[in-house]
């Protein structure tokens, strides 16, 4: 049985209502999905990797494709090669669990005005020098003091008891806790909750497509539209992120895009224009785009906050390029916190930062002119 077989069995178990700790029992019960004898499988074992000589492994979860010798961890710190088996060391151990507004994701065209259960662990597969969540994302599992212990089923029941409609994988990059995210998403749907995630967009195509079968919406950070920005400020690459955005659209999952604007680094009008044109032509004009204000953080505390005028100029460029839903975030009280009908200009969702105070929509359409507004509204 190879790891793809394991994933198929995970899917069969999920369909049967068995995940996480239950999955362990399912897999160790003596038969697999086809009724053939099975071997025991630990849910902490990574689901996308291959074995190399001398008990080394190659992780195939994200664009890095780390080759990991025995006893070592991958670049993201969370994947450990123990005796030739790659394990996810944060499975079932989130470091942050909170109920937060859906708007905070940011996610503007998905159940506005609701809250969701937000889950994060430690570490990341990027090294962004400007990270706002660096206290989680740029630390290893061992360095983060707060750790909880929840099986996927417990987490889903927690969300149900909290009375929220959705569960979000956020705070740090969910790629680095993929197996846990996958199993919580399956368990959450079984409880009637909608799973979403916020990501840097670096999952490899196969695990991404597999995950999207259990996901209702995604927010992707498109950090800039230059390869230099990705390599110099994030220690990463832009191309896999563009591929991720296209795959999410192809799979028909609701998508919103965030661009954190750093003064002097990714705010050139020509670059903004190129990014917006790419979104319109490769995704579509109805994809919401959020321009978010940078505030000094992590290794870039010497950089000033983004001037509001710069964000407004970015929004104007996006509108000129034909994008229909463009907002400005991290500027509480700005008019562009709200959402507007692209046909008649009615303020269809009134927001102040993360708080929704009014919704002028009926059946997914503008209440004033009846124009259909793309999104997930019920
Ligand atoms: S998920 Fe982690 S270990 Fe795997 S390739 Fe990416 S950075 Fe490397």
Does one domain contain both 80 and 128? no
Does one domain contain both 186 and 223? yes
Q: 258 with 106: CB under 8 angstroms?
A: yes
Please tell me if the CB atom of residue 59 comes closer than 6 angstroms to any atom of ligand 1.
yes
Joined tokens for residue 158: 């927690």
Distance 311 CA to ligand 1 centre (A): 33
Q: What is the pLDDT of residue 223?
A: 98
Does one domain contain both 109 and 205? yes
Does one domain contain both 146 and 247? yes
Rounded Cα distance between 126 and 198, Å, is 14
The residue from 290, 311, 331 where one domain ends is 331
Does one domain contain both 75 and 109? no
Give the CB-side neighbour count of residue 264, counting CA atoms within 13 A: 5
**Is residue 305 one of the residues assigned to a domain?**
yes
Q: What is the pLDDT of residue 204?
A: 98
Q: 159 with 193: CB under 8 angstroms?
A: yes
Torsion of CA 86, 88, 89, 90, to 10 degrees: 180
Distance 168 CA to ligand 1 centre (A): 21
Rounded Cα distance between 105 and 218, Å, is 10
Please tell me if the CB atom of residue 41 comes closer than 6 angstroms to any atom of ligand 1.
no
pLDDT digits (tens, 9 = 90+) for 250-262: 999 999 999 999 9
Does one domain contain both 65 and 142? no
Please tell me if the CB atom of residue 214 comes closer than 6 angstroms to any atom of ligand 1.
no
Q: What is the pLDDT of residue 41?
A: 58
**Is residue 359 one of the residues assigned to a domain?**
no
**Is residue 204 one of the residues assigned to a domain?**
yes
Cα 352 → chain centroid: 23
Does one domain contain both 298 and 159? yes
3-state class (DSSP) for residue 223: coil
Q: What is the pLDDT of residue 140?
A: 87
Joined tokens for residue 230: 């990705």
Does one domain contain both 44 and 79? yes
Q: What is the pLDDT of residue 141?
A: 84
Averages of pLDDT over runs of 10 residues in the chain (378 residues) are 44 38 31 43 90 98 98 96 96 95 97 97 96 92 83 96 97 97 98 98 98 98 98 98 98 98 98 98 98 97 98 98 98 98 98 97 98 97
Q: What is the pLDDT of residue 116?
A: 98
Cα angle: 293, vertex 326, 285; to 5 degrees: 140
Does one domain contain both 8 and 112? no
**Is residue 345 one of the residues assigned to a domain?**
no
Does one domain contain both 193 and 153? yes
The residue from 53, 88, 123 where one domain ends is 88
* DSSP classification of residue 23: H
**Is residue 351 one of the residues assigned to a domain?**
no
Per DSSP bridges, beta strands 361-362 and 365-366 are antiparallel
Nearest-atom index, ligand 1, CA of 77: 2
Find the domain containing 41 and state its range: 3-88
Q: What is the pLDDT of residue 25?
A: 27
Please tell me if the CB atom of residue 62 comes closer than 6 angstroms to any atom of ligand 1.
yes
Q: What is the CA radius of gyration of the chain?
A: 21
Does one domain contain both 323 and 201? yes
Buried (b) or exposed (e) across 49-72, using 16+ Cβ within 10 A? beeeeeeebebbbbbbebebeeee
- Closest residue by CA, ligand 1 atom 2: 76
pLDDT digits (tens, 9 = 90+) for 179-218: 999 999 999 999 999 999 999 999 999 999 999 999 999 9
Distance 89 CA to ligand 1 centre (A): 12
Exposed/middle/buried for 235, CB within 10 Å: 0-12, 13-18, 19+? middle
The residue from 36, 55, 88 where one domain ends is 88
Please tell me if the CB atom of residue 125 comes closer than 6 angstroms to any atom of ligand 1.
yes
Q: What is the CATH number of the domain that holds 256?
A: 3.20.20.70
**Is residue 372 one of the residues assigned to a domain?**
no
What's the structural domain count of the chain?
2
- C-alpha to C-alpha distances, 302 to 130, 157, 159, 268, nearest whole angstrom: 10, 43, 39, 20
Q: Among 47, 79, 80, 87, which residue has the most ligand 1 atoms within 8 Å of its CB, making it the best to mutate?
A: 79
Which among 371, 367, 364 is positioned nearest to 110, based on CA atoms? Answer: 364
Specify the residue for token string 């046909």. 343
**Is residue 155 one of the residues assigned to a domain?**
yes
Does one domain contain both 39 and 143? no
pTM of the entire predicted model: 0.90
**Is residue 358 one of the residues assigned to a domain?**
no
Q: What is the pLDDT of residue 40?
A: 57
């Amino acid at each position: 049985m190879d790891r793809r077989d394991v994933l198929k069995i995970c899917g069969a178990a999920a369909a049967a209502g068995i995940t996480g700790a239950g999955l362990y029992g399912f897999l160790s019960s003596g038969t697999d999905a086809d009724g053939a004898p099975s071997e025991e499988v630990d849910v902490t074992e990574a689901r996308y990797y291959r074995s190399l000589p001398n008990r080394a492994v190659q992780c195939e979860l994200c664009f890095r494709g780390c080759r990991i010798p025995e006893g070592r961890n991958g670049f993201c710190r969370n994947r450990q090669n123990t005796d030739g088996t790659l394990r996810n060391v944060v499975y079932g151990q989130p470091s942050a669990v909170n109920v937060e507004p859906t708007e905070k994701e940011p996610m503007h065209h998905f159940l506005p005005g609701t809250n969701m259960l937000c889950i994060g662990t430690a570490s990341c597969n990027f090294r962004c020098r400007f990270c706002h969540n660096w206290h989680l994302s740029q630390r290893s599992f061992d360095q983060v003091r707060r750790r909880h212990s929840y099986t996927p089923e417990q987490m889903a029941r927690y969300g149900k008891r909290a009375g929220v409609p959705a569960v979000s994988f956020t705070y740090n990059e969910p790629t680095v806790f993929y197996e846990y995210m996958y199993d919580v998403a399956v368990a959450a749907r079984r409880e009637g909750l909608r799973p979403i995630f916020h990501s840097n967009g670096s999952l490899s195509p196969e695990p991404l497509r597999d995950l999207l079968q259990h996901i209702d919406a995604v927010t992707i950070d498109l950090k800039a539209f230059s390869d230099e920005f990705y390599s110099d400020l994030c220690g990463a690459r832009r191309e896999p992120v563009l591929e991720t955005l296209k795959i999410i659209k192809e799979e028909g999952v609701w998508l919103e895009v965030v661009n954190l604007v750093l003064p002097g680094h990714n705010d050139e009008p020509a670059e903004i224009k190129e990014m917006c044109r790419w979104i319109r032509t490769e995704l579509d004009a109805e994809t919401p785009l959020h321009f978010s204000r940078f505030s000094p953080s992590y290794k870039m505390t010497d950089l000033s906050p983004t001037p509001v005028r710069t964000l407004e100029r970015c929004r104007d460029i996006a509108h000129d390029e034909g994008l229909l839903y463009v907002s400005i975030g991290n500027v509480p009280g700005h008019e562009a916190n709200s959402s507007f009908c692209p046909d008649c200009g009615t303020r269809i969702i009134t927001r102040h930062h993360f708080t929704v105070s009014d919704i002028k929509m009926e059946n997914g359409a503008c209440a004033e002119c009846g124009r259909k507004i793309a999104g997930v509204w019920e």
